[in-house]
Amino acid sequence: MDGLTARGARRRSLAALLALLALPRRALAQPIMNPAPGIDARTINTPQGALQSILKGAGMRRGRVRLELPSAAENGHSVPMTVRVDSPMSETDHVRRIDLVSEKNPVPLMASFFLGPHMGRAEIESRVRLNGTQRVTAVAQLSDGSFWFDAADIAVNESACLDGG
């Protein structure tokens, strides 16, 4: 009986060891589950890919968008983020969507917000996770189809992805 339990324990520790060895591959195999509508999941593994899937060949200009992040954060678990777009938010001239793209997160496309003329003001506040010091880009698409962006640099002392957070 004792021998059986010992073997069981050995087997379990062996399984744990194997699981540890398998870690990097499993991390890579992690599918990107939730692309926003109209975005191809295969293209959003890199920040450039994420931007391309949003822009679909169109250009973007800096301006009209204001992305506010603190310049430094103690850790990346929950960083306050505000994005606002200079727009009258009328039926004919409004912000259609805002995408947040991270330079260093495992999933570069952090979130997509879909706005409309009922909102009255194109301003969204949330809290984001950041995997280290990086530049975050907010891209807004207006109702005329044009893209505008702003980028903010933030120093993150402790990344969100390294431990239990």
Partner 1 sequence: MTARIQVPPEVRRGDLIEVRILIQHPMETGFRYDSLGRQTPRNVIHRFECRYGGVEVFSAAMGAGIAANPYLRFFVRAGESGDIECRWVDQENASGSASARVTVSG
DSSP per-residue codes, 3-39 = HHHHHHHHHHHHHHHHHHHTHHHHHHH-----PPTT-
Radius of gyration of the chain measured on its C-alpha atoms: 21
What does the alpha-carbon distance between residue 59 and residue 39 come to, in Å, rounded to a whole number? 17
Q: Which of 41, 107, 151, 152 binds partner 1 (CB under 8 A)?
A: 107
Nearest by Cα to 89 from 127, 140, 54: 140
What does the alpha-carbon distance between residue 73 and residue 76 come to, in Å, rounded to a whole number? 7
- Looking at the Cβ atoms of 19 and 61, the one nearer to partner 1 is 19
Q: Which of 45, 78, 133, 143 binds partner 1 (CB under 8 A)?
A: 78
**Which listed range, 53-61, 65-73, 97-105, 144-152, lies at the site for partner 1 (CB under 8 A)?**
97-105
Least spacing, CB of residue 150 vs partner 1, in Å: 17
Residues that bind partner 1 (CB under 8 A): 15-16, 19-20, 22-23, 26-27, 30, 33-37, 77-79, 89, 100, 102, 105-107, 109-116, 118-121, 123-130, 160-161, 164-165
